A and B are shown apart, each in its own frame.
Chain A
Amino acid sequence: MFIVYKVKKQIYSLVLYVVTGFTCVIVAFPFYWLLITSIKHGKHIFTFPPIFIPLSVSIQSYVDIFQITGILPFFVNSCLISLSSVVLAVFIGSMAAYSLAKTYLSSRVRIALIVFVLLCKMFPSITLIIPYFIIVKSVGLLDTRIALIITYVAHCLPFTIWLMIGFFQDISASIEEAAIMEGCSFWQRFFQVVLPLVLPGLVVTAVFTFMLAWNEFLYASILTSFKAKTLPVVIGTFVGDQYLQWDKMSAMGALMVLPVIIFASFIQRYLIRGMTFGAVKG
């Protein structure tokens, strides 16, 4: 009787494992398809039935996108813009978050500011883009990296502030009290005591910010035309194309997606924490 019970239990958990595995495979399949389309030989892409496990591999499409499409400058743009947005957004955002997390301002002001930041997070970008385009145009910043950097920093700020407030509040007050007693000024306390303590938080925030800026398409496609074009905009030009350049499209897609996924898989535990932060305590 006991053995039957045990076997039943094992079958039950086996079923659970199989279902979980199956779910993961389905969820990850499009990514796999992107990767194998990018390394298939050109002639193997358009076959029926489709080839699921490519036996012969070529990196021709990757060579093509650099040599024929010439994406190197746009790749550089993407890197420069995303990285500088990350640095600025994390810096400015954590300063604001520190100030909001501590109690120097009256609580009514803080509630108002936090709600304001939250509201900024909710706006659909499409509702802002038209006036924003006109404004940027009239300032003369169209097709510059600066315009995109400013935009991305601002768009990352609500999220950055939101995450960092939580991290700052986890620091115990006594550490800061000690710092005050030692005669640290506000700046010293922030840069030398508090920031090192929230380093994990900074990393998580930076990753999210990077993903936001790296993947952003709408603003980039409207604010840039050539000089400051980023990779998503280049990929956007494949939309509705009739020439079926699937190999190049997927090579570019893989080039964009792969670094993020590899890096993120190392810190996925923190990422999940960051993702669920607003909704679930801790």
Chain B
Amino acid sequence: MSFLPKKLNPERDNQQRNILNRKSLYVNKSRGSLYSSEKRVSVIFILPALFLLFFTFVYPLAYSFVLSFFSWNMLVPYKGKVFSGFTNYVGIFQEPAFLYSVRRTFFFVAVSVSVQFILGLGIALLITNPRIKVMGVARTALLIPMMMTPIVIGNLWRIIFHAVYGPINYFLNVLGFSSYTWLSNPQSAMVALIVVEIWWQLPISIFVLAAGIQSLPINIYEAAEVDGSSKLQTFQYLTLPLLKPVVLILLLLQIMDGFRMFDIVYGMTMGGPGSATKILSLLIYRRGLKFFRIGQATAMSWVLLLIVMTIGIFFLFKSQITKGKD
């Protein structure tokens, strides 16, 4: 595994460079060697992409960093940006709504990622079980959540969780429970949101883990069987440790997606009831694009960004270490 697998294989690099450096290829290009002209063209090949990425990622990011040190309310006309130092950062960390939102976000990400990992692992083991043959229809069914439009998912689950006409309450009634007002109770709204997030991200967990399981060498399993290890032991001492690199990447992806999640919560609860499901992305959206407190919103964005980046770097570091050990 790893983020930089074949991509940066030195032997292969040298091999390829040798091809290009061969003397026969140097034959009189007026503007120098073939190699350097190739290099020039290959730089041209990257440039459009770099330019676009710069314009849409780097520049706005830098601009948002600058803005986070200004006090700027776009709704107050004639009162432009005023430099205010760290006021925004100090302010948001003293603001209960922000701290509450951070706590909610961490709760949301932690619960949804862990549950969807466990469920995903279970289903991945199920569909890779050699006893059964999983057909294309089943695969497509399991892929469906990932292909649906997130904003549609939000609206759709609002219907499904509806207190009177929703099928979930109907099933609860059939099973002997009483109906429940899912989306108008602060605690259950969070639960509902987590359920939807799990459902939406499940295909990624399932198929990444299934691909990981299928890429494991079969002979060690035979050896384990010969040695009389039980199913549980095989899973605990063989499958899990071998899957560790895949698991790390998967968790990284899922955590990033958890922090990024916006459309579904926007469609389902809009942060409500109260601010029970107002996770960070929604808070930033409302602060910056509904109330136009640009300074505060950009400061919050940078806090979120730092959280995400710290977690990302931690996982990357961790996965490089496991790679070194192998």
Residue ranges of A at the interface with B (Cβ–Cβ < 8 Å): 9, 12-13, 16-17, 19-21, 23-25, 27-31, 33-34, 37, 45-50, 52, 92-93, 95-96, 98-105, 107, 110-111, 113-114, 116-118, 120, 122-135, 150-151, 153-155, 157-158, 161, 165-166, 169, 173, 176-177, 180, 185-187, 190, 211, 214-215, 217-218, 222, 232, 235-236, 238-240, 246, 249-250, 252-253, 256-257, 260-261, 264-265, 268, 271-272, 275-276, 278-282
Contacts and interface: CB of A to CB of B under 8 A. Distances in A.
Given A33-B167, A126-B301, A279 B260 contact: no
Nearest to B312: A122
A173 B17 CA distance: 10
A10 B228 CA distance: 22
B152 interface: yes
B147 A34 contact: no
B39 interface: yes
A186 B20 CA distance: 12
Contact of A217 (B64, B210, B263): B263
Interface string B116-143: 0000000100110101101011111111
A128 B57 contact: yes
B165 to A, nearest CB: 5
Contacts of A95: 45-46, 48-49
B60 A235 contact: no
> Chain A contact residues: over half helix, strand or loop, or mixed?
helix
A131 B60 CA distance: 5
A122 B324 CA distance: 24
**Size range of the interface on B?**
35 or more
B262 interface: yes
B64 A256 contact: no
Given A16-B132, A239-B267, A279 B48 contact: no
Interface of B: 1, 3-8, 10, 13, 15-17, 19-20, 25, 34-35, 37-39, 41-43, 45-46, 48-50, 52-53, 55-57, 59-61, 63-64, 67, 123, 126-127, 129, 131-132, 134, 136-157, 159-160, 164-167, 170, 173, 199, 202-204, 207-208, 210-212, 215, 246, 249-250, 253, 256, 259-260, 262-263, 266-267, 270, 280-281, 284-285, 288-289, 294, 297-298, 301-302, 304-305, 308-309, 312
Interface centre among B55, B143, B202, by most chain A C-beta atoms within 10 angstroms, is: B143
Contact of B57 (A120, A130, A185): A120
A280 B208 contact: yes
B143 A130 contact: no
B4 A120 contact: no
A257 B147 contact: yes
A133 to B, nearest CB: 7
Given A98-B42, A118-B3, A161-B49, 20 more contacts: A13-B132, A31-B148, A33-B156, A34-B156, A92-B48, A122-B312, A123-B61, A126-B284, A150-B56, A151-B56, A157-B52, A166-B6, A186-B37, A235-B155, A236-B151, A239-B151, A253-B156, A265-B136, A272-B211, A280-B208
Contact of B19 (A27, A29, A177): A177
Contact of B126 (A19, A126, A252, A271): A19
